[in-house]
Amino acid sequence: MEKLDSTVAVFDSHADAEKAIKKLNAAGFDMKSLSLVGKGYHTDEKVLGFYNAGDRIKFWGTRGAFWGGFWGLFFGGVFLSLPVIGPVIALGYVAAIIVSAVESAVLIGGMSALGAALYSIGIPKNSIIQYEDDLKADSFLVMAHGTTGEIARAKTALETTNPKRVDMHFGAKVGSPAMV
């Protein structure tokens, strides 16, 4: 077990979230320590679908290029339909945690699979409620996970990319996502 801290930035647009991921990657952050969560499509769209194409995903919808481009860059991904929030795509570290929570039925009372995953990496319940509200409002979550020093550096980088807000969360003890 290792101690894991997280920085979570909330973005109002997929373009800003994309810039943030690219900034973190350019700053030397390992893609295995990053996560991206957002809605897969707008409710006014008629068709929703996706399929694997090697290490990429082909995604139909207005954000197809956005999600398809990132799917292969991240450590893993999951597409979920969450009550009240709707369809959500989670990529990276948090995707592995979500899958682990669902497979082992470790869901925390009244929380979605996403909420349980965030809680398991040290994010407090009141912040989870806010992040789920942000997702309902079509915002995107960009997360960096690591040591206190790494997430402080991530927070500094993320603050330059036009986030709605940036939060830091400390102290969860978790296993490596590769073992999840």
Please give the Cα distance from 179 to 52 (Å, whole number). 23
Six-digit token string for 117: 């995953």
pTM of structure: 0.78
What pLDDT is stored for residue 139 in this prediction?
94
Cβ-Cβ contacts under 8 Å for 3 (sequence gap 6 or more): 147, 171, 172, 173
What pLDDT is stored for residue 104 in this prediction?
59
| Strand order through the sheet with 165-174 | 77-82, 86-92, 34-39, 140-146, 2-11, 165-174
Please give the Cα distance from 9 to 16 (Å, whole number). 11
What pLDDT is stored for residue 102 in this prediction?
65
Residue with tokens 């929380």: 111
What pLDDT is stored for residue 39 in this prediction?
82
Give average pLDDT by consecutive 10-residue segment, the chain, 180 residues.
84 91 93 87 45 45 52 66 77 80 60 84 91 93 94 96 95 48
